Amino acid sequence: MAESLSLALARYAAATSAEAIPGAVRERTKQVILDELASACFGNGQPAGDLAARYALSCGGPGECLILGTEAKAPAAYAALANGAAGHADEIDGAHVVGGHPGATLVHAAMAIAERIGAPGSELLNAVALGYDVGTRLIEACGGVFGVKDRYHLHADFLNAVGAAVACGRLLRLAPGQLCNAMALATFQANGLCSLFRERRHISKALCNGQYAFAGVSAALMAAAGLEGCDDVLGEPGGLLDAWGVVDGAALLTRGLGDDYKVMGANFKFLRAGYPIHAVIEATMTLVSRHGIAPGNIGSVVVGMPANAMRVVDDRLMHNICVQDVLSVALLRGDLHLGESYFPAILDDPAFAAMRARIRVRVDPDLEVSQPDGRGAVVTITTGAGVAVSHRVDHPRGHSLRGGVTWADLSAKWHDAMGGRGYDIDAWVGRAQRLEDLADAGMLADAFAKAE
């Protein structure tokens, strides 16, 4: 009898180890872990992060895991919820070439279990890399972020809950059969209708990532306690791929396991904005700098994007995922700084409305052909004198297809974002770089406790 799809994936997961991961993949994984923990520490002060932390602490229970950016601890699943929500609270956390924000779910789920059981840093590293391999492959197997959105009106990040369950299950050393149960149990707890993108304050958009982390942690703990699901939630009739998968979904889910590490597709952000906006800002600021264009000398701005990227950020109610709003700020202020919050105060500046009215967003036919699911942009600025200049950015800074980031890049990012808040950024970076040497991964989390 042929091995089921879920069991094949579970056997692979149970056999993984940090020692088997290539050096470049280990480095990228450690960078991802640092960036996501820092994002949650940063986002704790944002509305979604603060509300999620208050909720988690109101539920009571043992203080197992740190709510990053505070001195408080909560049970593992609730800490994962709070930290996952805070991680995506202000759009500073990482993205991925497949799409979505897997790190806000996967890293915080794995860290919660690692803290709960005192797992060494090497096992946390392995779990996060494994979570990316499962979560992003599941999204690919269901047609990608936009395929899931178009066909089912679902936010594809919910599939990372299954990846989180596998990552947490590996930390708990679950047997393959238990990992199958954890995957099934996670599917009962995670979902997300795309209507969440129509909210105004970025609360549920952030909370969903925390909820998916909660689902992954609790599913793994349920499986460890003996609870069960169907044997093959991935491949059964009526299972995950039957419900949402594409024709070759099973092959996409298993292809390249152990060789093609999906964490290498992680992208890092250097702006507090929806990811499709980053290439727009880079292209615009290049033109402003290169041609010495002052805000008062801008007649019009035309932004060209792939259609899928455009619909994510075109005229959204949430300001930091609205390309017109973020671009208007960048043009008026001459740049964007991680440590500064521009909304809602700038909305009362008459210059903001005037600048916004000069911006037009459209589908760029060349980008639509060359990267239909990409994050590139072409920006054309026409001056008041009628001179038009253009610049194209295929992959914004921090994108994996542009080479990723260095530790110095991440250090500078977080010094900029957290400057003056009293945190030891160098300690963050140093502990993350030495993650394999930490006897207890909680030592890394401890560095993100509320600064004195």
Task: Indicate whether 150 belongs to any domain.
Answer: yes
Residues 284 and 380 in one domain: yes
Task: Indicate whether 399 belongs to any domain.
Answer: no
Task: Indicate whether 177 belongs to any domain.
Answer: yes
Residues 221 and 109 in one domain: yes
pLDDT for residue 1 is more than 70: no
Residues 218 and 331 in one domain: no
| pLDDT value of position 318 | 92
Residues 165 and 242 in one domain: yes
- Number of structural domains the chain divides into: 2
Task: Indicate whether 206 belongs to any domain.
Answer: yes
CATH number assigned to the domain comprising residue 293: 3.30.1330.120
Of 393, 418, 434, which residue sits at a domain end? Answer: 393
| pLDDT above 70 as % of the chain | 99
Rounded average pLDDT over 56-78: 97
Task: Indicate whether 343 belongs to any domain.
Answer: yes
Burial call 29-66: b when 16+ CB within 10 Å, e when fewer: bbbbbbbbbbbbbbbbbbebbbbbbebbbeeeeeebbb
Task: Count CB atoms within 10 A of the CB of residue 198.
Answer: 12
Q: What domain range is 167 assigned to?
A: 5-270+405-446
pLDDT tens, 328-365? 999 999 999 998 889 999 999 999 999 999 999 999 99
User: Which own/partner pairs from 362-370 qualify as long-range (CB within 8 Å, at least 24 positions apart)?
Assistant: 362/302, 362/303, 362/304, 362/305, 362/310, 363/304, 363/305, 363/306, 363/307, 363/310, 364/304, 364/305, 364/306, 367/304, 367/305, 367/306, 368/306, 368/307, 370/394
Q: pTM score, two decimals?
A: 0.96
Task: Indicate whether 166 belongs to any domain.
Answer: yes
Residues 343 and 203 in one domain: no
Residues 50 and 169 in one domain: yes
Residue located via tokens 């005229």: 315
Residues 94 and 220 in one domain: yes
pLDDT tens, 400-433? 999 989 999 999 999 999 988 999 999 999 999 9
Residues 285 and 265 in one domain: no
Task: Indicate whether 30 belongs to any domain.
Answer: yes
Task: Indicate whether 452 belongs to any domain.
Answer: no
CATH number assigned to the domain comprising residue 15: 1.10.4100.10
Residues 430 and 329 in one domain: no
